[in-house]
Homo-oligomer: A and B are copies of this chain.
Amino acid sequence: MIPEKEITIYDIAKSLNISAATVSRGLKDHPGISKLTKKRIFDAAKDMGYRFNSLASNLRRQRTNTIGVIVPRLNSSFMSDAIAGMEQVANQAGYNLIISQSLETVKKEVENSLTMFNNRVDGLLVSLAYNTQDISHFEAFIKKGIPVIFFDRIFEHIKCPNIIIDNYQAGYEITKHLIAEGGRRIMHVSGNQSRNVYSERFRGYRDALEEFNLPFSDELLIVNNLTALEGIETAVQILSMEKKPEAVFVSNDTCAVACMLELKKQGIKIPEDISFAGFNNDPIAKVVEPNLTTINYHGEEMGELAANILIRHLTNNLEIGPAHTTVLGHELIVRQSSTKKII
């Protein structure tokens, strides 16, 4: 197909029998052009399929009105909520969202950041991959004054605002709850300790044990990738333990639910034999039987807030640094998987 030729302001001017300068000013909502003429110009532009020349105008302004997003995976319940929140805020403010996923590898994260850089995004929202150890790949943005904002899985950097929940406190609260329900030997299943979300939850768990003089041993800590498959493997490991845990706190719901289901299949009663707690409040937490005690995490709100902070910086040309940390609220949601007492 031969594409139609691009409609220009000259075509609009000709069709309305007015000058191109008037069309140009009308399209920019210039106060010198009457409302009626503006309406005629916009109607003609729409009918004729005129495209605002955003490329040329971006080139002049050195702004692209795009926000780059780099996340580990697009298809997790938490992340799709966060991106839905970002999109709402960005769309309202006239920004486009360019998204990419690192697939949990620093290699792809580096590639994605280079693509975003060359595409001249106005700012970047990042949640780090599993194995990212430093953030030198974001230095090019930081040096240019392009805001880089970390959310959820963050890296502390004086020039990068970040948005988190209090993972330490959440880990502490959920462990304390398991203790209050009678747990003494409490296992923890965690992820890569380079990521704040996992190391902080672990630290909260450790401190709760210590506060109540409960034992911690290496046997009680499992570090894996928190997948469903590894949940099943964890169940197998638990079944093989001579002295089984009375409670298990898993750092996400996916792994917790898979582990519970496998233990149930092998005759373990939950919560009577082993009580369970997860993290995230994914839809499966409300469906598994018994329903899973977990930490509610406001993914959509976190996404909205990250986009808001970024756009505020862009709109006001704010200097970043020393960067703020925003801590979002969380809630412990107690369900039947952890309530041993008869209610």
Verify if A74 is at the interface (C-beta below 8 Å from B): yes
Tell me how far the C-beta of A302 lies from the nearest C-beta in chain B, rounded to whole angstroms. Answer: 13
Tell me how far the C-beta of A46 lies from the nearest C-beta in chain B, rounded to whole angstroms. Answer: 8
**Which of A28-36, A281-289, A330-338 sits within the interface?**
A281-289
Q: Is the CB of A91 within 8 A of B100?
A: yes
Contacts of A321 in B (CB 8 A): 1
Q: Is the CB of B1 within 8 A of A51?
A: no
Verify if A343 is at the interface (C-beta below 8 Å from B): no
Verify if A112 is at the interface (C-beta below 8 Å from B): yes
Q: Is the CB of A87 within 8 A of B101?
A: yes
Contacts of A117 in B (CB 8 A): 51
Among the listed B83, B119, B140, B284, which residue makes an inter-chain contact with A287, where contact means beta carbons less than 8 Å apart?
B284
Q: Which of A267-291 contact B (CB under 8 A)?
A: 282-284, 287-289
- For A66, give the chain B residue with the smallest CB separation: B98
Tell me how far the C-beta of A322 lies from the nearest C-beta in chain B, rounded to whole angstroms. Answer: 12
Verify if A341 is at the interface (C-beta below 8 Å from B): no
**Which of A15-23, A55-63, A199-207, A212-220 sits within the interface?**
A55-63
Tell me how far the C-beta of A253 lies from the nearest C-beta in chain B, rounded to whole angstroms. Answer: 10
Among the listed B55, B80, B98, which residue makes an inter-chain contact with A97, where contact means beta carbons less than 8 Å apart?
B98
Oligomer: number of copies:
2
Give the A interface residue count (CB, 8 A). Answer: 61
Q: Is the CB of B59 within 8 A of A55?
A: yes
Q: Is the CB of B66 within 8 A of A74?
A: no
Contacts of A64 in B (CB 8 A): 55
Verify if A240 is at the interface (C-beta below 8 Å from B): no
A196–B299 Cα distance when bound, in Å, is: 31
Verify if A143 is at the interface (C-beta below 8 Å from B): yes
Given contacts A66-B98, A74-B87, A3 and B145 within 8 Å (CB-CB): yes
Given contacts A97-B100, A100-B97, A51 and B120 within 8 Å (CB-CB): yes
Given contacts A73-B84, A288-B287, A55 and B120 within 8 Å (CB-CB): yes
Top 5 closest A-B pairs, CB basis? A3-B145, A80-B80, A75-B80, A75-B84, A74-B84
Chain A residues packing against B (C-beta within 8 Å)? 1-4, 6, 49, 51-52, 54-56, 58-59, 62, 64, 66, 73-77, 79-81, 83-84, 87-88, 91, 96-101, 103, 112, 115, 117-120, 140, 143-146, 254, 257, 261, 282-284, 287-289, 299-300, 319-321
